[in-house]
Amino acid sequence: MTSDRTSLLPSTLLIGDQRIGTASGGVLEHIHPASGKVQASLPLAGAAEIDQAVAAAQAALPIWRSWDPSERRRALIRLADLFRKHAEEISTIHSLETGMPFTQADWPTKWGIDWLEDAAGWADKLYGDTVPISSQGLFNYTSIEPFGVVATILTWNGSVGAFGMAAGPALAAGCTVVVKPSELSPFGPIRAAELALEAGFPPGVVNVVAGGPEAGEALVSHPGISKIAFTGGGPTAKRIAVSAAQNLTPSIFELGGKSASITFGDADLSAAVAHATFVSVHAGQQCTLGSRMFVHTSVFEEFNDRLASALEAMKVGLPFDEGSQMGPLINQAAMDRVHGLVDRARAYGEVRAGGTRLGGQLSDGYFFPPTLVSGVTNDSELARTEVFGPVLATIPFEDEDEAIAMANDSEFGLSGYIFSSDISRVHRVVPKLDTGNVGVNGAFVTAGPTLPFGGRKQSGYGKQGGLAGVMEFINTKTVTVKLGDPS
Ligand code: NAD
């Protein structure tokens, strides 16, 4: 890493058109996950800056609402174009703040662009209905209105992609946003807000206040917030739900998972193994990771052998080294969690690849290799806990019903994966999986913004993506008009 790269990291918060250089929450010393060293500092928002940001968003709301929807569409497209223009810079910021290999860091940027453009398309295609009950002499219709000021709380692994995914639809619906990125990766969303100003968004429509749990708590309990869009962990979501209850603030919760991947005996094993190697993306710190892998006994050994070889061949490395296929975990706490889970799993499973923190030139960063633990049971700690790291566990099964029952025997319900060449089996199993999304034969469940995405059970509620995702930010008003008799 060179010092000129870190100069790309924004050093202020952005409220309205004010760059905030000192804030009441103190100072964040940001540690680069690949070096374990402080690479930048940033003011952290406290309650005072949250008040200021909500006030700015409230002031901007009537202005943004009054814009013709086609103008909002154009503004979102201009922002997407600026993401495109600054793609290399944004991707570099993402690599710096998360440790993701630079050669992969263009996908969160492209993802952000995609979500903003998709949201732009909806901005001028939202409308209400007319409702015919004319027999009662009434004319009825619904009109749509933006919810108001949205609190957008982000986890660290999405950065600008998550900004587009969470803020784009809200902005298209005419809402203004106060974005609180994770204190672990605050820089990408701040840069996105700077670009929103450049794209001609009125000041206050997009505000980004980096901060930790205190700032988050101040934001979600603020009476000026009309809707909360949260991405993160279940325990945090439950705290937010309690705070939100005080103002009855409606919320969307996009939470974690422990997704099942079922490989039947008739599956294309190459496709199943290739899909599993995507554990490298964000070092397995993905909500949708199919980390509970049910594999039919007839192919269990072969699958484990092939997957172990594929994982062992993967190059874990520094983010800006050419050839790096996987980066580090986000911080020491993640390392302790992941290492602890794998260490304890040695008592009941067989570690077939990885399993120990990496040393050598990677010893200063939080590098843990892609890991396979085979032969665990579905009631083991490793099968029940979201590792949020590069750890896959395989569990053998004998028949379809057993696989479905074990897949559903989880507190989570985010995603599911099926590998089978039998199309009838696929369509038999899909409706039986209690998850919000299912990927078949290697398809990604986060295929794009046109598809609704969200979880069930402890994986949350509410949708992002598609019309359903935009409608989360629309308040419908019902209007009933009594028609007079003809005179
Ligand atoms: P986290 O819950 O610790 O933090 C998420 C965000 O909440 C951060 O911005 C944090 O500062 C904020 N926060 C913390 N305490 C708060 C409080 N009391 N009030 C308000 N805000 C508060 O989660 P994390 O470690 O950043 O992310 C990991 C989790 O996110 C995993 O469970 C992962 O599966 C999940 N995730 C879900 C999705 C999805 O779309 N379903 C996407 C990515 C990650």
Three-state SS for 380? coil
pLDDT at position 487 is 76
Q: What does the alpha-carbon distance between residue 203 and residue 207 come to, in Å, rounded to a whole number?
A: 8
Give residue 446's pLDDT.
Answer: 82
47-76, pLDDT tens digit by residue?
999 999 999 999 999 999 999 999 999 999
* Amino acid making up residue 430: V
Gap from CA of 147 to ligand 1 centroid (Å): 23
CA-nearest of 407, 436, 434 to 419 is 407
237 Cβ neighbours under 8 A, 6+ residues apart: 230, 253, 255, 460
Which range has the worst mean pLDDT, 134-143, 286-295, 311-320? Answer: 134-143
Identify the residue whose C-alpha is closest to ligand 1 atom 33.
256
Distance 332 CA to ligand 1 centre (A): 17
71 is catalytic: no
Closest Cα partner for 28 from 184, 132, 180, 137?
A: 184
Do residues 141 and 130 make contact, with C-beta atoms less than 8 angstroms apart?
A: yes
DSSP symbols for 179-235? EE--TTS-HHHHHHHHHHHHTTPPTTSEEE----HHHHHHHHT-TT--EEEEES-HH
Q: How does residue 1 score in pLDDT terms, banded at 50, 70 and 90?
A: very low
What pLDDT does residue 378 have? 98
Name the closest-CA residue to atom 20, ligand 1: 216
Strand boundaries in 106-153, DSSP class E: 130-131, 138-146, 149-153
341, 381 contact by CB (below 8 A)? yes
155 lines ligand 1 (CB under 6 A): yes
220 in contact with ligand 1, CB cutoff 6 A = yes
User: For residue range 419-475, what is the model confidence (pLDDT) as tens digits?
Assistant: 999 999 999 999 999 999 999 999 998 878 999 999 999 999 999 999 999 999 999
By alpha-carbon position, which residue is closest to atom 14 of ligand 1? Answer: 213
Residues 232-273 pLDDT 10s:
999 999 999 999 999 999 999 999 999 999 999 999 999 999
**Is the pLDDT reported for residue 136 higher than 90?**
no
| Both tokens assigned to 205 | 């429509």
Whether 154 is in the pocket of ligand 1, judged by its Cβ within 6 Å, is yes
What is the C-alpha separation between 441 and 439, in angstroms, rounded?
A: 7
User: Would the pLDDT of 82 be above 80?
Assistant: yes
> How would you classify residue 458: left for phi > 0, otherwise alpha for psi between -120 and 50, otherwise beta?
alpha
What is the tens place of the pLDDT at every residue in 330-358?
999 999 999 999 999 999 999 999 999 99
Catalytic residue among 117, 180, 183, 472: 180
* Annotated catalytic residue within 117, 183, 386, 472: 386
What is the CA(362)–ligand 1 centre distance, in A?
Answer: 27
18: left (phi over 0), alpha (psi -120 to 50) or beta: beta
**pLDDT tens digit string along 17-40?**
999 999 999 999 999 999 999 999
C-alpha of residue 212 to centroid of ligand 1, in Å = 11
What SS3 class is residue 280? Answer: helix
Query: Which amino acid, residue 24?
Result: S
Q: Is residue 400 annotated as part of the catalytic site, yes or no?
A: no
CA of 155 to the centre of ligand 1 (A): 4
CA dist 348 and 53 (Å) reads 50
Q: Which of 287, 457, 463, 472 is catalytic?
A: 287
Tell which one of 152, 155, 225 to mutate to probe ligand 1, the residue whose CB is within 8 A of the most ligand atoms.
Answer: 155
Asked whether 174 and 204 are in contact (CB, 8 A), the reply is no
- Residue 186: CB atoms within 10 A of its CB come to 30
- Return the residue whose CA atom lies nearest to atom 8 of ligand 1: 182
Q: What is the distance in A from the centroid of ligand 1 to the CA of 236?
A: 7
Residue from 329, 305, 331, 304 nearest 316 by CA: 329
pTM: 0.96
Is residue 85 among the annotated active site residues?
no
Q: What is the pLDDT of residues 200-217, one digit of tens each?
A: 999 999 999 999 999 999
% of the chain beyond a pLDDT of 70: 99
The pLDDT of residue 354: 98
Q: Distance, CA 280 to ligand 1 centroid (Å)? A: 20
233 CA → ligand 1 middle, Å? 4
Q: Is 125 a catalytic residue?
A: no
Percent helix, strand, coil in the chain, to 5, is: 40, 20, 40
Which candidate, 157, 146, 153, 159, places its Cα nearest to that of 115? Answer: 159
Q: Whose CA is nearest to atom 6 of ligand 1?
A: 155
Q: Whose CA is nearest to atom 26 of ligand 1?
A: 155
Please return the burial class of 250, using the count of CB atoms within 10 Å of its CB with bins 0-12, 13-18 and 19+. Answer: middle
Q: Find out whether the beta carbon of 256 lies less than 6 Å from any atom of ligand 1.
A: yes
Evaluate whether 119 touches 31 at the Cβ level (below 8 Å).
no
| Percentage of the chain exceeding pLDDT 90 | 94
Ligand 1 atom nearest to 165, measured from its CA: 40
- Ligand 1 mutation target, pool 179, 236, 435, most atoms within 8 A of CB: 236
**Quick one: pLDDT band at residue 484, thresholds 50, 70, 90?**
confident
Encoded amino acid at 466, one letter: G
371: enclosing H helix or E strand: strand 371-374
How many angstroms separate the Cα of 323 from the Cα of each of 102, 246, 313, 319, 327? 10, 51, 12, 9, 11
Residue 277 near residue 290 (C-beta atoms within 8 A): no
Going from the Cα of 389 to the center of ligand 1, the distance in angstroms, rounded, reads 15
**CA separation for the pair 183, 180 (Å, rounded):** 9
Contact 396 CB / ligand 1 (< 6 Å): no
Q: Which residue's CA is minimally distant from atom 9 of ligand 1?
A: 182
Cβ(182) to ligand 1 under 6 A?
yes
State which ligand 1 atom lies nearest to the alpha carbon of 181. 9
Q: Is the CB of 240 under 6 A from ligand 1?
A: yes
Q: How confident is the model at residue 3 (pLDDT cuts 50, 70, 90)?
A: low
